[in-house]
Amino acid sequence: MTKLRYHLLDVFTDRAFGGNQLAVFTKAVGVASATMQAIARELNLSETTFVLAPEDLSADYRVRIFTPMIELPMAGHPTVGTTFVLAKDHLARRSEQVTTLRLEEGVGTIPVKIDWEDGHPAFIEMSQPLPTFGSRLTDVCAIAEMLSLEPETIAATNLPMEVVSCGVPFLFVPLRDLPAAHQIKFRLDVWERVLQDFEARNVFVFTTETEVEGSRVHSRMFAPASGIGEDPATGAASGPLGCYLVRHSVLPPAREVEFVSEQGLEMGRPSFIKVRIEQNEEGQISGVHVGGQCHFMGEGFLEIDE
């Protein structure tokens, strides 16, 4: 019988019962891939992570990320949350100001910065791969039907429905206003018909009308293919969101653009994700950064008979 200890935390929030839940197993050496997937399915959180020794010697740790159904090559709140746990568990070098960890994931090595406050990790920011822009969908009626909305709520934005990836592809769907975002009823039958063979099956919906002061974008994300009906906070989509907003001039041009995306409010799990996009002198995106706070909830262990 193997006893596996895990940490439970809420990510992209500074308080309990907000943000996105995460379980982190910091000592996963010897755990089989099938067992990792079974544990993620048992815990049934958006993601569960397992920390291993790196294969790339330039990295500090290797992190494997599982949804209840699949392993992901990269994800935002698991990267931020795992770094928080490593720092909290004295597995990251503490400093008076900033520490950088290098986490090996499926897309390569991800640099993650830890800002310390009174010896505790106060803010975690990951760097993401530079964006790739994919296909655009033009069938507004089909996507509106999938969201149970009127087509005009999408068309009125004059923005494209476009795939953007910083490691994981998402279809970005702009909405006219906040009431439209609140009214979404996601239809799996239409999703299967419209996006079954499309290059991005994760659907990220946003509007520039917000609920909370200080937020710039209100967001929702649906990923049925990963076993996630709706995600309360999606860091892997927030970097591409920033790239989309910069590319289509939704945000004013600048060498560095910062904003906060609010997510999870419809689920009763308010999440606040800070996005920072850097551009070079030619106006090309040169840096994608996503960060936030974490709240430790507790710890426990599983007994596994392998």
pLDDT in tens, 149-198: 999 999 999 999 999 999 999 999 999 999 999 999 999 999 999 999 99
Q: Indicate which residue of 47, 105, 125, 230 is catalytic.
A: 47
Q: How does residue 306 score in pLDDT terms, banded at 50, 70 and 90?
A: low
Mean pLDDT value across residues 48-64? 96
Around 33, how many Cα atoms within 13 Å sit in the side-chain half-sphere?
A: 5
Mean pLDDT value across residues 70-76? 95
Give the chain's mean pLDDT.
Answer: 95
The torsion defined by the Cα of 203, 208, 212 and 213, in degrees rounded to 10, comes to: 150
Q: Which residues contact 88 (CB under 8 A, 6 or more apart)?
A: 7, 120, 121, 296
* The pLDDT value given to residue 6: 98
Q: What is the pLDDT of residues 198-256, one digit of tens each?
A: 999 999 999 999 999 999 999 999 999 988 999 999 999 999 999 999 999 999 889 99
Q: Which two tokens stand for residue 287?
A: 């840096």
Nearest to 159 by CA among 148, 143, 147, 145: 143
* The pLDDT value given to residue 95: 67
Nearest to 2 by CA among 51, 35, 42, 45: 35
Q: What is the set of domains in the chain, with CATH numbers?
A: 2-127+293-304 (3.10.310.10), 132-291 (3.10.310.10)
47 noted as active-site residue? yes
| Under 8 Å between Cβ of 240 and 250 | no
Answer yes or no: is pLDDT of 35 > 90: yes
Answer yes or no: is pLDDT of 96 > 90: no
Answer yes or no: is pLDDT of 97 > 90: no
* The pLDDT value given to residue 98: 83
Distances (CA, A) of 197 to 120, 137, 221: 45, 13, 19
| Under 8 Å between Cβ of 51 and 63 | yes
* The pLDDT value given to residue 1: 79
